[in-house]
Structures are given as C-alpha cells and as structure tokens.
Structure 1
Amino acid sequence: MVLIGYARVSTVGQENGLETQKHLLEEAGCKRIFFEKVTGTSTTKRNELKEAIQFLDKGDTLIVTKINRLARSIIDLNNIVNELNIKGVNVRFLKENIEFQAGENNNSLQTLLFNILGSFAQFERDIIVERTGEGRERAKKQGKHMGRPSQDKRAIEKALKLYDERETNGLSVNDIAKMTNVPRSTIYAELKKLKG
C-alpha cells in the first residue's frame, strides 16, 4: 500500500499554496506527490491528475488536502472518487477528515457529508465567477478600461527620446524602463512600429 498525494493550485501565481499542500501531504506520509497548476473546472487539462490515477494501484491511497483541490464540480468529484474506488484505490481528504475505502460500503452519513462539502465547494466557485462577471460589467458601464492599463503616451515618448539619446546619456534600456515606468517590451514594440 502506497500513499500518493495530489496538490493543485488554480494559477501560476499561487506557488505558496502549492508549498503548503506539499508540506501537509508529506506530513501525511505521501511517498510521491503530483503537482498541478490548473483550474479545478478544467477536466481535460489536468494531466498530473490523470497521471496520478494511472500510477495508483489497488490498495494505494490518494491523499488530497481538501475536496476543492481535487475538483470544483460535484459531478466531477464523484466521478473521480468512484473511478478510484472501482480501481481499488482509497481516497482521503485531510481537511474534511474523510476517507473513502475502496470495495467497502462507506457509511451513508460520510457519503452525505462528502456530497454536501463538494456542493459547497462548487457553490463557492460559482459565486466567485458570478461576482467577478458582475464586477466586470459594472466597471464597463462606468467606462473603466478592462484588462491591462494602457501606457501613458508621454511616458512612452520620453522613453523613446531617452532611447534615441542613449549614446550621449549613457542609459541602458533597463535604466530607461526604470526611469519612465515603461516596460522594455513596450519600448521595443514602439521602436519596431517606428521602423516598420
């Protein structure tokens, strides 16, 4: 019997969350941990989860820190747990303190609790998506620009002037970018436009 961990964060910027999950899974005795940086709703792109499922053998246990790290949809959650149980793999959720034993009739109260917690995870995700959409619509109605802020034209003009004068002023592109708050990529893109 081998203990295998699965850790997931939704975005690349959440490395701290991944480290926390790794620590908890190691404390739980996981010999190998599969790491994923992808949203829980993306069922087709979770390659590490697919690899973990293939790696697990009968009698092994998949350990996840909490239910919403495995999936955010209650249907997907039940499908994954059922697939693993049929394969003879146990599934344990640390935060919720729930374990589903393969090949056993898990108690009905535990199954109910699991489904309620899974439903809450899905509900929480849906609320976040809904609020984000509403906030975006409100901002558009107020005339706010959505997406990356556009660069100040005067700052770009200053950056280009400094770039043209770099032989006399001795500034590098990095120096110019720091002084004007115009990214190097923007400076090069504007120079390309002028040449083109």
Structure 2
Amino acid sequence: MKIGYARVSTVSQDLESQKELLQAEGCEKIFVEKVTGTSTAPRTQLKAMLEHVREGDQVIVTKIDRLARSIIDLNKIVQELNDKGVSIRFIKDNINFEAGENLNPTQNLLFNVLGSFAQFERDLIVERTSEGREIAKAQGKHLGRKGQDPKKVKEALKLYDERKEKGLSVTDISKLTGVPRSTIYHEIKKRSTDEQ
C-alpha cells in the first residue's frame, strides 16, 4: 500500500500541492500534519502514520524537510520504517529507501547532505525571524495578529442572537461585520462559559 505524509508549518503554506503530488503518486491514504518542524508539539499524524504502516508498504513524502525536524530525527524515522519492512520515497529529492536494503555509500552521503541542508535552512529562517522580532520590538511595533474591533465583535454577537429571525448564518455574519467565524464562535463560547 502507498501511504503519503504531508506537513506544513504555517497556515499560509500550501498543503494542497503536497496532497496533489502524493495522490498523483497513487497514495491510497495520506496523513496530513499542520505543525512546524521545530515545534515541540507532538506530531500526531506522523505517529499515526508510523503505527499504521505494515511490512511491504511504501511511504511517500514530497521532500525530506516535510518528514523530519533534524538530521537525527530524519535518520531515526527512516530507520524505524526500514525496521518494519517499509520502504520510503522522497519525490522531489529523488531518493528511495527500499525496505531491507542499505543505501550505498554515495546515496547515504547524499541523503545526509540533503537532510543537513534542510536543517540548516530551517535554522536560518528561525534565526532571521527571531532577529526581525527583536528589531520590531525595539522599534515599538506590535507583534502578532491585529486585535478585532470590539464594536464589530459586539455587532457580530448581536446579529448572531438575531440570526434565526433574520435568516443569517455565521458565514453571513462574518461577511457583514468582517469578524472571522473563529472569533464569533470563540466569543459565543466565552459568553456561555461566563453565564454558567
């Protein structure tokens, strides 16, 4: 069975292109993760994929850096799959690990070099982001998402309370007020908790 694994670090990254590539490769099941490679948050879908695979399966990933957080992590995951008799293929890096076969020295070197470059690139991004954050703080700039206008939120909640008589859905209310649906649901939940 061909099994795909896709991961994105941020909401803005394109998950669909990874899924399309994996589907084009004939993956019957695709595990999808939305978590940064450097995050300490558990990658539940990676764990689920590792538990799901069986001997003879093939795991397909678009690129090396989508699978692992570091070169050590990468080698550990590949070894675990290999020990289970599962082969793994990285589409864009053009590397295949056949179950039960060791890479020749040149393939092994290439794999580790590519993994190291992926880790190096990720470390540079983290460093640049941290530097940018410090510069912005020093300049007194606000970091993070812009807060919602309390008047708009109040208007959205009022419309939510009147939604049945006005025939509005939460999507309609969001479009009318400019308040995201997630904020509306969050405020409704908060309000119901406060009332208890």
Fold match (TM-score > 0.5): yes
Give the AA of the match of 2:121: E
Deviations 1:43-68 (A, max 9, x none): 65111111111111112110001001
Give the AA of the match of 1:56: V
Give the AA of the match of 1:133: S
Q: Supply the distance in 2 between the matched residues of 1:66 and 1:42 (Cα, whole angstroms).
A: 18
Match of 1:49 in 2: 46
- Within the alignment, does 1:147 sit opposite 2:144 as a pair? yes
**Structure 1 runs not aligned, ≥5 long:** 164-173
Name the SS of the counterpart of 2:127 in structure 1.
Answer: helix
Asked if the contact 1:72/1:118 (under 8 Å) is kept, the reply is: no
Asked if the contact 2:35/2:41 (under 8 Å) is kept, the reply is: no
Please, what TM-score do these two structures have when normalized by structure 2?
0.74
Name the SS of the counterpart of 2:54 in structure 1.
Answer: coil
Asked if the contact 1:41/1:71 (under 8 Å) is kept, the reply is: no
Match of 1:63 in 2: 60
Asked if the contact 2:59/2:88 (under 8 Å) is kept, the reply is: yes
Name the SS of the counterpart of 1:58 in structure 2.
Answer: coil
Name the SS of the counterpart of 2:59 in structure 1.
Answer: strand
- Within the alignment, does 1:72 sit opposite 2:69 as a pair? yes
Give the AA of the match of 2:44: N
Aligned length: 169
Match of 2:165 in 1: none
Summarize the alignment of residues 49-128 of structure 1 with structure 2, pairs less than 5 Å apart: 49-128=46-125
Deviation of residue 145 (structure 1)? 2.2
Asked if the contact 1:3/1:61 (under 8 Å) is kept, the reply is: yes
Asked if the contact 1:72/1:121 (under 8 Å) is kept, the reply is: no
Deviation of residue 41 (structure 1)? 2.7
Match of 1:169 in 2: none
Relative to structure 1, is the Cα distance of residues 122 and 182 closer, same or farther in structure 2, using a 3 angstrom cutoff? same
Relative to structure 1, is the Cα distance of residues 60 and 151 closer, same or farther in structure 2, using a 3 angstrom cutoff? closer
Deviation of residue 183 (structure 1)? 8.0
| C-alpha RMSD of matched pairs (Å) | 3.0
Structure 1 residue ranges (4+ consecutive) displaced by more than 6 angstroms after TM superposition: 181-186
Larger radius of gyration: 1
Match of 2:9 in 1: 10
Give the AA of the match of 1:19: E
Q: Supply the distance in 2 between the matched residues of 1:19 and 1:150 (Cα, whole angstroms).
A: 29
Q: Supply the distance in 2 between the matched residues of 1:33 and 1:26 (Cα, whole angstroms).
A: 8
Q: Supply the distance in 2 between the matched residues of 1:38 and 1:28 (Cα, whole angstroms).
A: 24
Q: Supply the distance in 2 between the matched residues of 1:95 and 1:70 (Cα, whole angstroms).
A: 13
Deviation of residue 137 (structure 1)? 0.8
Asked if the contact 1:4/1:60 (under 8 Å) is kept, the reply is: yes
Please, what TM-score do these two structures have when normalized by structure 1?
0.74
Match of 1:20 in 2: 17
